[in-house]
């Protein structure tokens, strides 16, 4: 089962948030303890019921903070570079 599908299943139709369960899912997705803690903190700062999309956005934001924005994919090679097919 995919990471976000697992989160959707765990968060759907729930009145309360089990932060330990969300933490376990994030760690099992190989985010590591430090990144997981940062994501959980960001989600708790929202101060409301969270959705799977909130988890996705918080996770992406923290990864981008660490690694930077991804470079856009190049559609055509730069002049002078070989083309790989």
CATH number for 30: 1.20.120
* 3-37 residue pLDDT tens: 667 776 766 666 677 888 888 888 888 888 898 89
**Residue % of the chain over a pLDDT of 70:** 80
Whether pLDDT at 43 is above 60: yes
Assigned domain for 75 exists: no
Assigned domain for 82 exists: no
Assigned domain for 26 exists: yes
| Range scoring the smallest mean pLDDT among 30-39, 43-52, 68-77 | 68-77
Question: What is the predicted pLDDT for the residue at 55?
Answer: 81
In 3D space, the residue among 58, 32, 34, 63 whose CA is nearest the CA of residue 44 turns out to be 58
Domain around 60: 3-67
Assigned domain for 76 exists: no
Domains identified in the chain, total number: 1
Assigned domain for 44 exists: yes
Cα 7 to Cα 49: distance, rounded to the nearest angstrom: 14
Assigned domain for 85 exists: no
Assigned domain for 52 exists: yes
């Amino acid at each position: 089962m995919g990471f976000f599908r697992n989160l959707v299943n765990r968060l759907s139709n729930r009145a309360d948030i089990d932060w330990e369960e969300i933490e376990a899912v994030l760690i099992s997705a190989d985010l590591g303890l430090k990144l997981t803690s940062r994501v959980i903190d960001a989600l708790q700062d929202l101060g409301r019921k969270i959705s799977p999309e909130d988890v996705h956005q918080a996770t992406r934001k923290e990864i981008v903070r660490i690694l930077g924005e991804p470079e856009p994919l190049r559609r055509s090679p730069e002049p002078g570079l070989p083309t790989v097919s």
